[in-house]
Amino acid sequence: DKGNHRHFMQKEIYEQPVVVAQTLRSYLRPLEAQVALPDIEFDLSSVERVVVVACGTASYVGMIGKYWIEQLARIPVEVDVASEYRYRDPVLLPNTLGLVISQSGETADTLAALRHMKAAGVTTGGIINVPTSSMAREVDLLLPTHAGPEIGVASTKAFTCQLAVMAALATNLARAKGRLADEADVVEHLQHVPEAMSMALAHDAEIEAMAPKIAAARDVLYLGRGPEFPLALEGALKLKEISYIHAEGYASGEMKHGPIALIDEQVPLIVIAPSGPLFDKTVSNMQEAQARGAQVVLISDAEGIAQAGENTIATIEMPKVHPLIAPLVYAVPVQLLAYHVAVAKGTDVDQPRNLAKSVTVE
């Protein structure tokens, strides 16, 4: 049932403050100021490396997790798409945590990668949404998301719930490694996510209003740095799959290594850039593109927009949030933009052509 919503995707975008809160509830113990993992009988301090394997949107959660786990816990993280991982004879060292991420828990390549890791003898974990799925049954450590059923083929609420669990895992690894300075602080940031997501949703009408401009484009580029780089990839994937507009995400610093050659007045550039230490660098990449005529949509907070919002075709103002939670909050406008562009183009948002919700064949 779509309720008041026109599409399941729209409903699922709107559900995020609630389902992310629901997911976080099983990972946060606010009274103890602790981030916990459910019933884990496994010594996380023995983890010396993490290998994340997933497909599509779930693989971007892995990439964002790499930034978090490496920064907070100082444990090296490798991320791979499952279709490559399972066939490339990967090296699995002892004391590796093999982590799969999947909404359905049935994606054929991810399931095969999980079985490969189990056969190699490493401990496996899974961030999984469907509790009765094959992966949920087969992983050693189940880290559930509580997004509820996701119907839209384009993953939205599963993505942000996976990020919430990933943040909890990164925090727990950091504690296990004796590197967590202020856990209460992390709890506070994570607890702020649902409210910040609601504030992001309040920009829906503005995003809808700018969608026709993007809908007219043939190509769209997304830029981000740090944890916002995988979010740029996610934005591009979302736009491609439901609006059929060609889109690519790039790490901002890669622009001058090739993609800037694509820039002209016809190419919208979606820049995902919360203010903070990486902001100036991203903005200078953005300005290089603007000098070549790029039509920029800047997604930032008030401070970022005040500094760099000029000469853009639109800005979308996010609340000022801690860098740890920025990918969850900035995911909202990225999803809404893809949604409204697809609606403007009149494509089938919930059942895009050529795609299946769950890819159970290779």
Q: Which residues bind ligand M6R (CB under 6 A)?
A: 55-58, 102-104, 107, 110, 153-155, 237, 241, 358-359
Main-chain phi, psi angles of 101, to 5 degrees: -130, 125
Task: Tell me whether residue 91 or residue 361 sits nearer to ligand M6R (CB atom).
Answer: 361
What is the closest distance, in whole angstroms, from the C-beta atom of residue 88 to ligand M6R in the complex?
A: 19
Burial class (CB in 10 A: 0-12, 13-18, 19+), 13: buried
What is the closest distance, in whole angstroms, from the C-beta atom of residue 103 to ligand M6R in the complex?
A: 3
Task: Tell me whether residue 57 or residue 300 sits nearer to ligand M6R (CB atom).
Answer: 57
What is the closest distance, in whole angstroms, from the C-beta atom of residue 178 to ligand M6R in the complex?
A: 33
Is 357 a residue of the active site?
yes
Task: Tell me whether residue 51 or residue 153 sits nearer to ligand M6R (CB atom).
Answer: 153
Return the structure tokens found at 347. Answer: 């494509």
The Cα 246–Cα 218 span in angstroms is: 6
What is the closest distance, in whole angstroms, from the C-beta atom of residue 312 to ligand M6R in the complex?
A: 27
Question: Residue 264 contacts by C-beta under 8 Å, 6 or more apart in sequence?
Answer: 292, 293, 294
Position closest to ligand M6R via CB:
56
Per DSSP, the chain holds a count of helices (H) and strands (E) of 14, 12
The Cα 325–Cα 163 span in angstroms is: 9
The Cα 85–Cα 206 span in angstroms is: 41
Task: Tell me whether residue 323 or residue 327 sits nearer to ligand M6R (CB atom).
Answer: 327
What is the closest distance, in whole angstroms, from the C-beta atom of residue 54 to ligand M6R in the complex?
A: 6
Residue 55's closest CA among 93, 125, 106?
106
Task: Tell me whether residue 103 or residue 252 sits nearer to ligand M6R (CB atom).
Answer: 103
The Cα 85–Cα 207 span in angstroms is: 37
Determine which one of 2, 177, 320, 357 is catalytic: 357
H-only helix segments in the chain:
8-14, 16-25, 56-73, 82-85, 108-119, 134-138, 157-176, 183-191, 193-201, 204-215, 228-243, 279-290, 302-308, 326-345
* Active site residue ranges: 357
